[in-house]
């Protein structure tokens, strides 16, 4: 890893802690950090990057819309489940299961699409890097929360 790459990773680590200093993380900052992190980890060629980012960004937009929909349609009702009848609770569980299936299908379609634009090894690196990025963010968040 050359010095420039090391510098980018260090900047990511330092700036991640700044994000969680706020009460509400700024999604745009997190997204920028994630893009930089993935760019560094995947080491995409310019041709790969031209085809990768549109597919990835479309997937991220769909995933975000799906999570917002889940929050409004399911999660809010789950927190107030005491007021639901048994029939309403059963319907909510069925709705939740359908949502989980949709999310799984979205992930499957994304992986199939991304395999067409980057090699399989880079696809695996993407999956691993997304996991590592989430872990890193959670670790930074927990560290900041513990410092209070």
Percentage of residues in the chain with pLDDT exceeding 90? 55
| pLDDT number for residue 140 | 86
Global pTM value: 0.72
Distance CA 58, CA 56 (A): 5
Number of H helices, E strands in the chain: 6, 0
Tokens describing residue 84: 């639901």
Residue given tokens 């010095």 in the structure block: 3
Residue given tokens 């700024």 in the structure block: 26
Distance CA 72, CA 124 (A): 32
- 41 against 145, higher pLDDT: 41
For 46-98, the pLDDT digits (tens) are 999 999 999 999 999 999 999 998 988 888 888 878 888 999 989 989 999 99
Cβ-in-10-Å burial (0-12, 13-18, 19+) of 16 comes to: buried
| pLDDT number for residue 9 | 43
Largest CA distance in the chain: 61
| pLDDT number for residue 73 | 85
């Amino acid at each position: 890893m050359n010095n420039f790459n090391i510098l980018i990773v260090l900047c990511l680590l330092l700036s991640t802690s700044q994000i969680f200093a706020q009460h509400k993380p700024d999604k745009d900052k997190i997204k920028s950090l994630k893009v930089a992190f993935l760019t560094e980890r995947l080491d995409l060629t310019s041709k790969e990057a031209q085809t990768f980012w549109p597919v990835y960004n479309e997937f991220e937009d769909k995933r975000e819309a799906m999570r917002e929909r889940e929050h409004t349609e399911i999660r809010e009702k789950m927190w107030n489940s005491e007021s639901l009848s048994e029939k309403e609770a059963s319907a909510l569980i069925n709705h939740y299961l359908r949502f989980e299936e949709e999310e799984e299908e979205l992930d499957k379609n994304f992986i199939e699409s991304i395999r067409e634009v980057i090699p399989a090894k880079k696809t695996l690196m993407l999956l691993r890097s997304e996991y590592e990025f989430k872990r890193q963010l959670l670790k930074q968040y927990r560290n900041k929360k513990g410092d209070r």
